[in-house]
Amino acid sequence: MAISGSTQVEEVSAGSLSPIRLAEFTDAAWISEFLRQRWHTTTILAHGEVIDAAALPALIAENRQGLATYRLRGRDAELVTLDAIPAGAGIGTALVEALSTRLCAEGCERLWVTTTNDKLSALRFYLRRGFRLIRVRCGAVDDARERKPSIPTVGEHGIPIHDELDLCRILDLGAGQQVPFLPPNNP
């Protein structure tokens, strides 16, 4: 299991947001179970790639109220899963901010996330937190459904699910250099 092993709490300066910590090896069973409860699997299919989210580094919100799994991709990072219970309590924001702070300190320039065309709440969430819509992969979910038939055809608000949306957040806006919003190096 590729879970990192530090218990240091990330400082998040957003008022009453939950303290966030890096996942430890002892969190592995909980992470797998949490992902199965929220995603019905630990395997995520995105941009034509199968990703085992349970094997990735992760951040955990206080009292295990939230989880963010991510992976490093050179000077970029990809947020693979983000879940918070309850929604709307600031836990997701705390996880994104803690992850952004951590990645910026490690020299990452961009944080990517992929969602689907039906996830209007996710799109709103990410856009309000500094992400920008960079690319639409038309038909990507239709292609993924051929590999994983359990992917639903209809999602939030009765919207048919067909496309993937890539969003990007520049991590260090004060660096003095322009970091381009280039699409991630995915198929």
Q: Which runs of E-coded beta strand occur in 40-182?
A: 43-46, 49-52, 58-61, 66-73, 76-84, 110-116, 132-137, 164-170
Pairing verdict, β 66-73 and 58-61: antiparallel
| pLDDT tens, per residue, the chain with 187 residues | 232 333 233 334 344 456 999 999 999 999 999 999 999 999 999 998 999 999 999 999 988 999 999 999 988 999 999 999 888 889 999 999 999 999 999 999 999 999 999 999 999 999 999 999 999 999 999 999 999 898 999 999 999 999 999 999 999 766 555 666 666 554 4
Both tokens assigned to 106: 């490690």
Which residue type sits at 109? E
CATH architecture of the domain 9-170 equals 3-Layer(aba) Sandwich (3.40)
Distance CA 104, CA 116 (A): 26
Q: Where are the domains positioned within the chain? A: 9-170
DSSP 16: T
Whether the pTM exceeds 0.75: the reply is yes
